[in-house]
Amino acid sequence: MKNNENTGNNIEINDENVENNVISDDNTEDTSANTDNSAEEKTTELTVEEQLEAAKKEVEQYKDKYLRAVAEFDNYRKRTLKEKAELLLNGSEKAVCAFLPILDDFERAIADKTEDVNAIKEGVQIIFNKFNKTLESLGVRKIETEGKDFDVDFHEAVAMVPGMGDDKKGKVIDCVQTGYQLNDKVIRHAKVAVGQ
């Protein structure tokens, strides 16, 4: 019977060992589960930290791009203002340079001591033609008025002439002062007398 009791005790001991082993295994699993959870948390924390670092780097890049764009725009604005100022200051340079040869012709005409009226008249006519060609090269054109219909876009009526007949009604009769256009813009309206 002792053998049986011993056997029973052994079994009981074995059962306790088995239970202890099972409990130990459960603890091991819990411990390993805790370790796995901590590792996951650390990985997650590292990932969040890495994401934060990446976000900070991205913010720095955008900030750098923004500052560069602002500086570039400021430089562009300053350069444009400088160019406008130079254009206003020196914009007439082309016209002045075009008129200098005509000024030279006038100086030569004044310095000439000739008494021949026809020669003087011919010289003035040559200078006048040269002046007109220079104006045309700069885009200045004379507004034609002779026989034209009165047009407020090009003409300014300074007088109304009655009794000219129906065929002259609303037409330019006489030009008191010549008008001019610069390219397509009227820079001086022609002052005209209009038939009534």
Interval 42-59: pLDDT, tens: 556 668 888 899 999 999
Q: Which of 56, 61, 84 is nearest to 69 (CA)?
A: 61
Residue 173 — very low, low, confident or very high, per pLDDT cuts 50/70/90? confident
Interval 71-89: pLDDT, tens: 999 999 999 999 998 888 8
Eight-state DSSP code of residue 189 = P
Give 157's strand partners: 192
Query: How do the domains of the chain map onto residue ranges?
Result: 1-90, 92-138, 141-196
CA–CA dist 87, 122 (Å, integer)? 38
Question: Tell me, what's the pLDDT at 61?
Answer: 95
Question: Tell me, what's the pLDDT at 42?
Answer: 57
pLDDT exceeds cutoff 80 at 188:
yes
If you average pLDDT over residues 122-141, what whole number do you get?
93
Superfamily grouping for domain 141-196: Head domain of nucleotide exchange factor GrpE (2.30.22.10)
CA–CA dist 56, 34 (Å, integer)? 32
Q: Average per-residue pLDDT in the chain?
A: 81
Task: Indicate the burial class of 143 (C-beta count within 10 angstroms; 0-12, 13-18, 19 or more).
Answer: buried
In this structure, which amino acid lies at residue 169?
Answer: K
User: What is the rounded end-to-end Cα distance, in angstroms, of the chain?
Assistant: 155
Q: Which of 160, 158, 153 is nearest to 187 (CA)?
A: 153
Decide: helix, strand or coil at residue 144. Answer: coil
Predicted TM-score (pTM) of this structure: 0.55
pLDDT exceeds cutoff 50 at 38:
yes
If you average pLDDT over residues 94-115, what whole number do you get?
90
Which of 33-42, 54-63, 108-117 has maximum average pLDDT?
Answer: 54-63
Residue 163 — very low, low, confident or very high, per pLDDT cuts 50/70/90? confident
